[in-house]
């Protein structure tokens, strides 16, 4: 028994295995690539599709080939892109050796897409399969593209939209729809019952007081049996939505919601200003027409048909939209002009819509805002809004604006006149007084106060005699030039110009602006020094122009309590100062030397730290019980030892003026030579001339500003 059994086993082993060709043929008939690798990752076998799908050569698909050779072949062929070929192959070997099942999608250079699956064998080894999913992926892409186009169309709609099926479940709604209502986003998911969304709104007071079930039932009824008649929803925050529901031929209902809050607000505003407005905007919904890529009408709403006086058959589905445009053009709707050109212009906007609004004006005066947009799936959507009342309102605003601009121009003209007048008046007032009056700090009323002031008087010596020697025009020019220069210096130092009394100038410091009695006094004396320095410069300039008779200045300065304010009558007032201290300043001026500055003792006490002065004795002044001590200004302490620009000496028989700033090196040498020659001639003169001569000449250094 055992022997026979053994013989049968040997015979069976020697018999050919007819199942292998059948199995191999079956594998080759599969439309997937299939390969088996042993535990050493060497190829055990594969079907024809495995090599054909990846275009492997026959030599590479022989049993015993290591799997890395396939990766090297792919890398050399460029399947993995640029980079180190061996590194690319080794990185894929690491993934295989990890022994984790995985799959991936790979697109061949030919455009075909393969699904590659790695399935490790428990006892060791690997099963690798390729399946061609090109058609599947293309179908997915087509579906995604269609979904994208639908999404773009929904999101580009001017209002909100929701589509519910026959079971009142949400199929789709756009983002605008979700933004309009304060409900959880989960209630908008596809498949959610639309009544749940309505109930949430009702329970949270969105529809106002009332029985929740009744409020929901009322709206569910409009979903089940939409009438196409718009209704309005008033949100708790004051927004107004126009709701349109229509039955879809394929089943279900489309709800279109438009935010008409601004339209409602405009309606209310216009109703207050225009009594003839009796029709509210909720009965004037916009018009809409959808045309396909061939410009045939797909659909238009009733409002569109109401807006335009054309036969209804021109608006039927499938009718060419250009025929509707031509009818309007032929009947004068677009005004005079070539019919073909008028139609072509509008057809162009249909074929190439820009999304930019334009306006159509009807013969009856109505104005429509027209917007055309391209639909992602093809064709054009045109929306029309009646903005007639809005345009009238804008025209009214424009007229009001023009009236306001005219009034503004008139006010500006009056302001310019006032500015010119105030500019002219400012020349009659000291700048400080002008500013205080026009800023409202001071009133034009008769009032005064006692303040400690520093008073300045200046006078031109021998002015009366000079007037007899000059022509009127020459005297006027000379005097105005002098007063302009002195005024500029006065304003620079902050003086209040009281008045010009012929050739005399009266100034004061301490009102309406003050820096304190000491600083006011110092500023006044420094101003006086600057004036005398400028006067010497002017004398040189006048002589250079051939003016024989030049002005010489005397200045008096005093500090004390004065009465300052508005003096006069109800019809005319003058801002000035009065008092004994003012009179003293005038007397000091009359006792000053030519070209000199004479100070009262109190002024000297305030400025002595910065001004070098010498006491000159006393003078008797009416109104003062005791003689008044006086001081002659010598110079600023900081510049007392410096050299001046102008060297000047004038006396009977002698006039010497040297302007050092104008002397060049050569000119300076010539001047020294001329002075030496003059000195020699004076020294060699006859004795009688010397006896009659004045005391020896000592040049005076004048410190020029």
Query: In CATH terms, are 16-132 and 443-639 the same topology?
Result: no
pLDDT computed for residue 524 by the predictor: 96
pLDDT computed for residue 69 by the predictor: 93
CA 567 – CA 454 distance, rounded (Å)? 19
Instruction: For the chain, list residues with pLDDT below 50.
Output: 1-13, 275-284, 640-642, 687-688, 690, 693-705
Nearest to 644 by CA among 582, 559, 703: 703
Q: Where are the alpha helices (DSSP H) in 30-84?
A: 48-54, 67-77
CA 280 – CA 272 distance, rounded (Å)? 12
Residue 571 burial (CB count, 10 A): 5
Q: Which residues fall within 8 angstroms of residue 684, CB to CB, at 6 or more apart?
A: none
Q: Which CATH class is domain 443-639?
A: alpha beta
Nearest to 255 by CA among 212, 219, 302: 219
Torsion on CA atoms 610, 615, 620, 626, rounded to nearest 10? 80
β-strands 597-600, 553-568 pairing: parallel
Q: Which residues fall within 8 angstroms of residue 269, CB to CB, at 6 or more apart?
A: 393
**Contact, 704 vs 536, CB < 8 A?**
yes
Token code pair at residue 614: 């010498």
**Contact, 450 vs 565, CB < 8 A?**
no
Radius of gyration from C-alpha coordinates of the chain: 55
Q: Which pTM was predicted? A: 0.37
CATH of 286-386, one of 2.60.40.3080, 3.30.450.20, 3.40.190.10, 1.10.760.10: 3.30.450.20
Q: Where are the domains of the chain?
A: 16-132, 146-259, 286-386, 443-639, 649-702
CA 246 – CA 229 distance, rounded (Å)? 9
Q: Which CATH class is domain 146-259?
A: alpha beta
pLDDT computed for residue 647 by the predictor: 65
pLDDT computed for residue 546 by the predictor: 74
pLDDT computed for residue 705 by the predictor: 34
Tell me the fold of 16-132: Beta-Lactamase (3.30.450)
Partners of 600 in the β-ladder? 630
pLDDT computed for residue 76 by the predictor: 92
Torsion angles phi and psi, residue 13, rounded to 5:
-70, -30
Nearest to 554 by CA among 605, 592, 586, 608: 592
What is the 8-class DSSP label of residue 441?
S
Specify the length of the chain in residues.
Answer: 705
**Contact, 552 vs 482, CB < 8 A?**
no
pLDDT computed for residue 700 by the predictor: 42
pLDDT computed for residue 652 by the predictor: 55
**3-class SS letters over 466-529:** HHHHCCHHHHHHHHHHHHHHHHHHHHHHCCEEEEEECCEEEEEECCCCCCCHHHHHHHHHHHHH
Nearest to 285 by CA among 368, 400, 352, 216: 368
Q: How far is CA 601 from CA 243, 315, 628, in A?
A: 96, 108, 7
Helix (H) or strand (E) holding 695: none
pLDDT computed for residue 280 by the predictor: 33
Grouping H, G, I as helix, E, B as strand and the rest as coil, residue 254 is strand
For residue 206, the Cα-to-chain-centroid distance in whole angstroms is 40
pLDDT computed for residue 698 by the predictor: 39
pLDDT computed for residue 396 by the predictor: 87
């Amino acid at each position: 028994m055992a022997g026979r059994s053994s013989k049968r086993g040997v015979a069976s082993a020697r018999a050919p295995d007819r199942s292998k060709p059948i199995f191999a043929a079956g594998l080759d008939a599969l439309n997937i690539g299939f390969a088996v690798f042993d535990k050493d990752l060497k190829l055990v076998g594969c079907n024809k599709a495995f090599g054909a799908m990846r275009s492997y050569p026959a030599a590479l698909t022989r049993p015993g080939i290591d799997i890395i050779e396939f990766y090297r072949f792919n890398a050399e062929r460029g399947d993995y892109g640029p980079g180190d070929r061996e590194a690319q192959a080794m990185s894929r070997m690491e993934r295989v050796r990890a022994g984790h099942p995985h799959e991936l999608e790979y697109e061949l250079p030919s455009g075909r897409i393969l699904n590659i699956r790695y399935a490790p064998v428990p006892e060791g080894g690997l099963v690798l399969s390729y399946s061609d999913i090109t058609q599947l992926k293309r179908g997915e892409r087509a579906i995604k593209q269609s979904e994208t186009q639908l999404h773009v169309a929904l999101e580009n709609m001017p209002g909100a939209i929701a589509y519910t099926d026959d079971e009142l479940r949400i199929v789709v709604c756009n983002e605008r729809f979700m933004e309009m209502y304060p409900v959880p986003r989960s209630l908008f998911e596809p498949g959610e019952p639309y009544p749940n969304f309505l109930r949430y709104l009702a329970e949270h007071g969105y529809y106002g007081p009332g029985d929740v079930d009744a409020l929901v039932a009322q709206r569910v009824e409009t979903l089940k049996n939409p009438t196409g008649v718009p209704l309005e929803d008033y949100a708790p925050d004051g927004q107004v939505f126009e709701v349109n529901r229509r039955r879809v031929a394929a089943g279900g209902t489309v709800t279109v919601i438009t935010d008409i809050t601004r339209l409602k607000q405009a309606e209310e505003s216009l109703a207050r200003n225009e009594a003839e407005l009796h029709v509210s905007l909720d009965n004037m919904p916009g018009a809409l027409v959808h045309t396909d890529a061939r410009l045939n009408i797909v659909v238009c709403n009733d409002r569109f048909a109401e807006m335009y006086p054309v036969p209804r058959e021109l608006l039927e589905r499938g009718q060419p939209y250009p025929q509707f445009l031509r009818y309007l053009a032929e009947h004068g709707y677009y005004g005079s002009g070539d019919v073909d050109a008028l139609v072509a212009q509008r057809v162009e906007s249909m074929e190439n819509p820009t999304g930019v609004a334009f306006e159509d004006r009807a013969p009856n005066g109505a104005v429509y805002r027209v917007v055309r947009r391209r639909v992602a799936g093809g064709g054009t959507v045109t929306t029309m809004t009646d903005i007639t009342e809005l345009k009238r309102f804008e025209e009214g605003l424009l007229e009001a604006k023009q009236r306001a601009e005219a009034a503004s121009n008139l006010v500006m003209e009056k302001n310019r006149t006032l500015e010119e007048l105030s500019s002219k008046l400012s020349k009659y007032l000291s700048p400080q007084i002008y500013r205080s009056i026009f800023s409202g700090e001071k009133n034009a009323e008769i009032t005064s106060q006692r303040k400690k002031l520093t008073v300045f008087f200046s006078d031109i010596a021998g002015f009366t005699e000079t007037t007899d020697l000059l022509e009127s025009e020459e005297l006027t020019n000379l005097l105005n030039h002098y007063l302009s220069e002195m005024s500029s210096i006065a304003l620079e130092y902050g003086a209040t110009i009281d008045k010009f009394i012929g050739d005399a100038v009266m100034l004061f410091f301490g009102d309406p602006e003050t820096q304190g009695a000491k600083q006011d006094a110092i500023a006044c004396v420094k101003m006086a020094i600057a004036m005398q320095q400028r006067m010497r410069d002017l004398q040189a300039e006048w002589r250079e122009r051939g003016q024989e008779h030049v002005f010489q200045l005397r200045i008096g300065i005093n500090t004390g309590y004065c009465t300052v304010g508005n003096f006069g009558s109800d019809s005319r007032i003058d801002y000035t100062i009065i008092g004994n201290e003012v009179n003293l300043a005038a007397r000091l001026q009359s006792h000053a030397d030519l070209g000199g500055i004479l100070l009262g003792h109190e002024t000297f006490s305030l400025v002595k730290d910065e001004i070098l002065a010498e006491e000159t004795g006393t003078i008797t002044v009416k109104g003062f019980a005791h003689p008044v001590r006086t001081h002659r200004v010598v110079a600023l302490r900081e510049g007392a030892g410096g050299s001046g620009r102008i060297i000047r000496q004038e006396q009977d028989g002698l006039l010497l003026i040297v302007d050092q700033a104008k002397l060049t090196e050569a000119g300076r040498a010539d001047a020294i030579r001329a002075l030496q020659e003059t000195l020699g001639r004076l020294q060699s003169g006859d004795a009688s001339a010397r006896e009659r001569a004045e005391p020896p000449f000592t040049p005076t250094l004048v410190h020029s500003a």
